[in-house]
Amino acid sequence: MAEIALEAAPVLGGTSLELSGNRIVERDDLAIVSIATPLGGEEALAEALRNGWSLDVPEPARSSLSGTVRAIRTSPDQMMLIFPHATPDAEAVVQERLGGTGYTTDQTDSWIALEVAGPDTISAMERICPLDLQSFEIGGTGRTVMEHIGAMAIRTGDDAFLLLSASSSAGSFLHAVETSYRYVT
């Protein structure tokens, strides 16, 4: 029988663009696990997050960061944990530290993450993003629609954002972001 080996490829082929001093980079190394809060289990989950990652439960529209692990508040009873992780067992790894205090779902392959940074980032983003990203504090997050595509934005620096969008429409999303940069540079 033939030997078949499958190798995972980045959704956007490991895109890394440089546009007049701005960067658009696909982060293929990130695992994403959503954590839903059980009814009445807020305290236990907060303690597990503190003990497991030294993370605070993020306030609405905020994220909290501890080392390379980021927790993003996505809805009143849900957050996402994003962290560099190479193997396809992120959910089990997270659940091991949570010890059943949250409901976890592995979302890694459903999303793509784009790191956008550079002096024209705010100008490029405000063309396609209805949120007032300028007013975001560092660590601020929001989920919205950009070019009819659902997306999440996290401000990671003065001129830097992490953008999350569905992997099924990743090509269109990258096109929208790249085009917007080209218009302002």
Partner 1 sequence: MIINHPLLGPRDSAEFVVLGDACLIDRPDGMNAAIEEMHDYAYIRDNPAGEHRELWYHEQGDRSWLVVTRSTLTHEVIEVELARNVARARGRSR
> Site map for partner 1, 151-180, x if CB under 8 A?
------------------------------
Question: How far is Cα 98 from Cα 51, in angstroms, rounded to an integer?
Answer: 9
| 40-63 b/e (C-beta count within 10 Å ≥ 16 → b) | ebeebbbebbeebbebebbeebbb
CB of 171 to partner 1, least distance (A): 20
Site for partner 1 in 17-46 (CB under 8 A): 39
What residue spans of the chain are helical by DSSP H?
A: 42-53, 90-98, 121-128, 170-184
CB of 24 to partner 1, least distance (A): 23
Extract the tokens encoding 163.
């953008």
Of the pair 146, 162, the CB lying nearest partner 1 is at 146
Site for partner 1 in 117-156 (CB under 8 A): 130, 142-145, 150
Of the pair 58, 118, the CB lying nearest partner 1 is at 58
57 and 48 Cβ atoms separated by less than 8 Å:
no
- Intra-chain end-to-end CA distance of the chain, in Å: 54
Site for partner 1 in 47-86 (CB under 8 A): 60-61, 74-76
- Residues near partner 1, by CB under 8 A: 39, 60-61, 74-76, 130, 142-145, 150
